[in-house]
Amino acid sequence: MGVEAHATNERATGRTWTVRLDPVGRGRADVRVSCSRPACAAQVLPSAAVGRTAAVEHLKAHLRAGPAPRPSAYCACRAEECHTHIRPAGPRERRPAPWRCGGAVVLAVVTDREGRWWQVMECCSRCAAAHPTAKIAATAPAPDRTAPADAFRAAAASVSTVPAVGPHFSHTASGATVPHEVPPPRAPRPTRQRARRGRIAQRFVPHELRPVALRDELTELGELFRAYQQRAEPDLAVLAGLHARKAKAFRAWAEVTADTGLRLDAERAEQAAATARLQHLHRSGQAPEGVGPAVTRLLTASAQWNHARAVLTHVADHSPLPGPEARLLVVMLTLRTAQSGVGNLVGQDLKGLPLPDPEHLVGQLVECGWLDIAGTVDELIASRPENPTRIGVPSLTPDESDPGPFTFGRKMRPKLSGWAQRVVGEKKLRKAKTAADARLLALALATGVSLDGQLGPEGEGLPLEDLASWCAVTPAELLELVDRLTATDWLTEVAVTDTVLTGRLTERVLPLSCPLT
């Protein structure tokens, strides 16, 4: 009998599992989605955005298919001895303060703020509330038991229906038996319910916040944002309206409490409202004229765009050899050695460029003193990634009296070099077998557009003479290059006058652009 009682009182440890999003390798865009459940195989997906979507869907599938939380489960986080249950002793305490679990058992989803992992825990609602990022996915049903008061009232009701034989009193008129009457049960005492605290943007709305209309607005906004997150399809117009209301409410909250953090949150909400509103206009085809779509560019900051233009300007002014092939090679070698004057090169770097005779060009650069290489030109052409050739450009090497022509650091140089390689080696340019002059024009156009892709500042166009000089061709030959880029879907809406080229980069190549700011 004692064994059965022990088995009945034993609580099962709460379930827990984790879905992770990890990079496949250094410098690679693809990611790996893995689940700690034994039956789930890892997936490799092409980008972090696709991987994050797949991880969330995988987690939701487990939550839909899995059993509900068990009312008698033992907190999973307590079994793992988390910091909530094991707290360090305070300065006046001899022992750590005990943590008491409480509330219904729930399935809580905890995630990190960067969106790299999602953990599901079967724990009590009090432990779930201790995690700032926890969201309740399911709650265990209440145990089916009869309350003592209900049992007493049921017994009293049954007694009242059975006539009990009581004593005889002489003053009764008929001498009949008068049964005892059970009084009706008392009405339950009203319980005082604590006012529910609102929560918005990881902040709790104080119940004592005044005016009351502001408190109610913040509470309602928190509920609306959480309801929006549960929508099957996004509605950017609704989201923009919520952010606008949040900005107004947070500004009023900041004025009441003099909290700088709330004022900053209000500014962020205004920016989020403007972004969501513009995205909605673009998706619905109602975008205002002259405003381009949001573009995720390879170079993301205006400082990077200015550095890219500075490199091209320097090459145009200091190119040691004539001709578009030599200039394209000098651009790529400058970007390889821009920060310290030295770098590594392999034969494939040269063979990937549209150069009819790369050995001859490299030899000319060495003979004129612009380039130094470790070994011979043939050894450079034959070198492989596991054994690169060391190269140097003396005019770019900084010293005590001359820091060099460029001001960017070591981390910026590979970003600029990678951007130039993406432009020069763009897929359609390679398939069309465009020559060096067309690739130079693509570089010039990528660094001479407005935010929405129009050529020149505010779409005013680019001077033909400057473009022809940069590409090392005549103005008549430049028009043929423009036709080639139009045929390869680089340019659209092209118009040429005697002095200016106007048009727009296509949306396909906008991510490679460096806008004029």
Quick one: average pLDDT of 1-26?
66
Lowest-pLDDT range, 58-62, 87-91, 206-210, 232-236?
87-91
321 and 462 assigned to the same domain:
yes
351 and 259 assigned to the same domain:
no
Q: Give residue-wise pLDDT tens across range 31-69.
A: 888 998 877 888 888 888 888 888 888 888 888 887 888
Residue 176 resides in a domain: no
Quick one: average pLDDT of 212-239?
88
Residue 294 resides in a domain: no
> Cis omega before residue 211 (within 30°)?
yes
pTM over 0.75: no
Quick one: average pLDDT of 430-459?
90
User: How far is Cα 275 from Cα 460, in angstroms, rounded to an integer?
Assistant: 27
pLDDT at 166 exceeding the cut of 60: no
212 and 120 assigned to the same domain:
no
Retrieve residue 383's tokens: 């070198």
277 and 329 assigned to the same domain:
no
Question: Which pLDDT does position 187 carry in this prediction?
Answer: 62
User: Closest by alpha carbon to 510, among 308, 299, 311?
Assistant: 299
| β-strand partners of 342 | 392
More confidently predicted of 176 and 430? 430
Residue 184 resides in a domain: no
User: How far is Cα 449 from Cα 459, in angstroms, rounded to an integer?
Assistant: 7
- Contact (CB, 8 A) for 514 and 423: no
Residue 147 resides in a domain: no
260 and 310 assigned to the same domain:
no
List alpha helices for 21-75, DSSP H: 48-65
- Contact (CB, 8 A) for 482 and 492: no
Question: Which pLDDT does position 324 carry in this prediction?
Answer: 92
278 and 325 assigned to the same domain:
no
Domains of the chain: total: 3
Question: Which pLDDT does position 192 carry in this prediction?
Answer: 57
User: How far is Cα 372 from Cα 111, in angstroms, rounded to an integer?
Assistant: 53
Q: Give residue-wise pLDDT tens across range 315-356.
A: 999 989 999 999 999 999 999 998 888 999 988 888 889 999
Lowest-pLDDT range, 5-14, 236-245, 330-339, 362-371?
5-14
Q: Across the chain, what does the average pLDDT equal?
A: 80
DSSP track, 80-129: TT-TTTS----TT-SSPPP----S-EEEEEEE-TTSSEEEEEEEEHHHHH
52 and 120 assigned to the same domain:
yes
37 and 127 assigned to the same domain:
yes
Map residue 484 onto helix, strand or coil.
Answer: helix
Quick one: average pLDDT of 223-242?
87
Question: Which pLDDT does position 168 carry in this prediction?
Answer: 38
List alpha helices for 106-235, DSSP H: 125-130, 148-160, 212-229
Question: Which pLDDT does position 483 carry in this prediction?
Answer: 92
pLDDT at 263 exceeding the cut of 50: yes
Residue 150 resides in a domain: no
258 and 308 assigned to the same domain:
no
User: How far is Cα 347 from Cα 377, in angstroms, rounded to an integer?
Assistant: 10
Query: What count of other Cβ atoms lies within 10 Å of the Cβ of residue 167?
Result: 7
pLDDT at 87 exceeding the cut of 80: no
Question: Which pLDDT does position 174 carry in this prediction?
Answer: 41
Residue where a domain terminates, one of 283, 310, 329: 283
Retrieve residue 452's tokens: 């929405």
Residue 517 resides in a domain: no
Residue 495 resides in a domain: yes
pLDDT at 237 exceeding the cut of 70: yes
241 and 373 assigned to the same domain:
no
Residue 334 resides in a domain: yes
Q: Which domain holds residue 252?
A: 198-283
356 and 443 assigned to the same domain:
yes
Residue where a domain terminates, one of 238, 255, 283: 283
* Contacts (Cβ under 8 Å, ≥6 apart) of 78: 84, 85, 99, 101, 123, 127
